[in-house]
Structure 1
Amino acid sequence: MNHPLNILVVEDEYITQKTITVLLTEMGYNVVGTAMNAQEAIEVLSENKVEFALLDITIQGEKDGIWLANYIQEKYSIPHVFLTAYSDDVTVKNAIATNPYGYLIKPFQKAELFTAIEIAMLNYNKQNVTIPKESAYIYIKHNEVFEKVAIENIIYAESQKNYLLIGTPEKEYRYRSTITEFMDKLPANFIKTHKGFIVNKTKIDGYNISFITIGSKKIPISKTYKDFVISELNSSQS
C-alpha cells in the first residue's frame, strides 16, 4: 500500500528527459510517464496516479510549462517543480505565480534534483496541514526517497523528540514532526493514549487499563489519558 513517489517528467529535449528519468530511477522514485508537450502530459495525468511533476517551462506546442502548471494545480493539486534554462525576471515571475514548490535552472546535478524534490515534499506536507478523510495519504521520507503512505495504513505514532516513529504493517518510518502537529492532521479514528503515543483505533487487537496491544506491539496508556481512552474504545465496540 506504501510506495515511492510517482513522478511525471515534462521535458522536450530528449537527452535531458532521459537523463532526468535515469537520475530519478537511481534515486528510487517511480517515473510513471514522460511528455514532450502539454497534451502528452495531460494524457499521462489522466491515465496514471501522478503525485509529483517536473515541468520544463519552454516545451513544444502553444501551451507552455506555466500553462501546464496551472492546469495541474486546478485539476490535481499535486506539487510541481519547474525546470528551465532561463532565469530572467519575466520567466521567474510567471513561474512563481503558479505556486511551484521549486525552481531548477538547467543544467543541474543529481544532488540539486534530489534536494529540490526533498524541499518540495517537505513544503507540501507543511502546507497540507489537515488530512480530511481516512483514505488520504501523507508523504514520508524512507531510505532517502519519499513514499506515499495511506493514513488508514498507519498503526501508531511514537514521539522521539523532534521526530516520530510511524508504524505501518510494511515498515516503520521516521517523520519529522511533533506529536501534537501530527495529531492535528489525523481523522477521528486516531487517539492519543499517552503524551508520546497515538494509535489507530481500527488496528487495536486488545487493551487493559495500562496498555494497548497491536500485534506484538504494546502501547502504554498513561493515567492522564486512561479515562478518555477506555471511553473511546468502549464506544467503538458499542
Structure 2
Amino acid sequence: MSKVKVFIIEDDFIHTNRLEMYLDEMGYELAGTAASSTQALNLIAATKPDLLLVDIHLAGDLSGIQIVEHLNNKKAIPVIFITSYRDKETFETAKLTDPYAYIIKPYDKETLQAAIELAVYKFSKIKTANSQNEYPEEAKDSLEKGMLFLKSKGRLIKIILSDILYIEAKDKLCLIYLSKEIIEVRMSLQKLEDELKDNQVFLRVHRSFIINKEEISQVNLSKNEVLVGNFNVPVGRSYKQSFLNSIHVV
C-alpha cells in the first residue's frame, strides 16, 4: 500500500502552504510543488504523481491550462483546477482539458477532500474500464497487477494488487491482508470482488474470503484450507471444486 501522491502547481506561496497542510492532514503524500511550467513539467516526469492540483493563472509563459494540455498529450493524469477567477470564459477553456474537478478560491479542506476523492475514484474506474483496449497483449500481465484506490479511515489509499495476500469480510468491513499490514475498508466483499473480477489472480474461496492465487504455498485438502503467505484461509464446500479447477490440479 502507498499513499495517493499529489503534485501542486501554484505560484502563490500562501496557497501552496495551505494545500500542503491540507494534504498532510488528509493523509496524502506530497509528490512535489512547482510555481512555473518548466519546473512543473520536469518534476512531474520525475515524481510520477497520481493527481495534480493546478492553479489556472500562473506567472510565466504557460498557464495552468496549457501545462495540463501538454501533459495530456503524453499521459493522462487526473487534474483538479483551482482558481480565483469565476468568469465563464476561463471555465469553458479549462473544461476542454477534461479536468476532474474545478474549485473556486477560497475553499475549505472538506471541499478539497471531496474533489480529490471523486477525482481519484473516477480516474481509477476509467483506467480499469479502458485497460484491456488501450494496452497491447504483452502489457496485460502488468495491468492485471495494477492498483486500486480505496477509502480507509477517512483517507484514500493506493493498494498495489500484487501485494494483496487475501481479503476477509468481517461485519461490515473488508480486511485486506498485505504482507506487512492489514487495511480496513468499509464495503462489502461482493463489491470488492466485482472490482477485482477482471484480474484473474483473485479467487473467491469462501463466502468470507478472496485469495490471491499467486500467493498460495500449500493446499490442505483434508482440512479444506489453503496457506496464503503465512495465513491459513478456509475453502468453503460450495467453492472447493471451482477452486481446485482454477489451480490446475493434476
Question: Could you say whether these structures have the same fold, taking a TM-score greater than 0.5 normalized by the shorter chain as the test?
Answer: yes
Residues 159 and 134 of structure 1: CA distance in aligned 2, closer, same or farther (over 3 Å): same
Distance change in 2, residues 1:161/1:30 (3 Å): same
Shift of 1:54: 0.2
The answer to whether 1:213 aligns with 2:227 is yes
Match of 2:134? none
What's 1:52 paired with? 51
Aligned to 1:223: 237
Moved over 4 A (4+): 159-163
Name the counterpart of 2:11. 12
AA aligned opposite 1:155:
L
- Matching of residue 181 in structure 1 with residue 180 in structure 2: no
What residue number does 1:142 align with?
A: 152
Provide the residue aligned with 1:31 in structure 2: 30
Question: Is contact 1:189-1:202 (8 Å) kept?
Answer: yes
Query: Displacement, 1:166?
Result: 2.2
How far the C-alpha of 1:183 sits from its partner, in A, is 2.6
Q: What CA distance in whole angstroms lies between the structure 2 residues aligned with 1:160 and 1:100?
A: 37
TM-score, length-scaled by structure 2:
0.82
What is the deviation of 1:196? 4.4
Structure 1 portions without partners, runs of 5+: none
Deviation at 1:156, TM superposition (A): 1.7
Aligned partner of 2:212 in structure 1 is 200
Paired with 2:144 and 2:65, the residues of 1 have a C-alpha distance of 33
1:152 aligns with 2:162: yes
Please report how far the alpha carbon of residue 66 of structure 1 lies from its aligned counterpart in structure 2 after TM superposition.
1.3
Distance 1:79-1:18 versus aligned 2 partners, 3 A rule: same
Q: 1:17–1:184: structure 2 CA closer, same or farther, 3 Å change rule? A: same
- Relative to 1, partners in 2 of residues 1:42 and 1:176: Cα closer, same or farther, differing over 3 Å? farther
Q: Which amino acid aligns with 1:181?
A: D
Counterpart CA distance in 1 for 2:11 and 2:101 is 19
Paired position in structure 2 for 1:93? 92
Residue in structure 2 matched with residue 191 of structure 1 by the alignment: 203
Following TM superposition, by how much is the alpha carbon of 1:97 offset from its aligned partner in structure 2, in angstroms? 2.0
Deviation at 1:96, TM superposition (A): 2.0
Q: Could you tell me how far apart the structure 2 residues matched to 1:72 and 1:197 are?
A: 41
Matched-pair identity in %: 27
Residue 62 (structure 1) aligns with: 61
| Residues 132-141 or 25-34, more deviating | 132-141
What residue identity is the alignment partner of 2:194?
E
Q: Point out where structure 2 has 5 or more consecutive residues left out of the alignment.
A: 132-139
Equivalent residues of 2:22, 2:109 under 8 A apart: yes
* Cα deviation 1:3-48 (Å, max 9, x = unaligned): 2111110011121112211221232222121111221110111221
CA RMSD of aligned residues (A): 2.4
Q: What SS does the aligned partner of 2:227 have?
A: strand
Describe the shift of the 1:145–1:49 C-alpha distance in structure 2 as closer, same or farther (beyond 3 A).
Answer: same
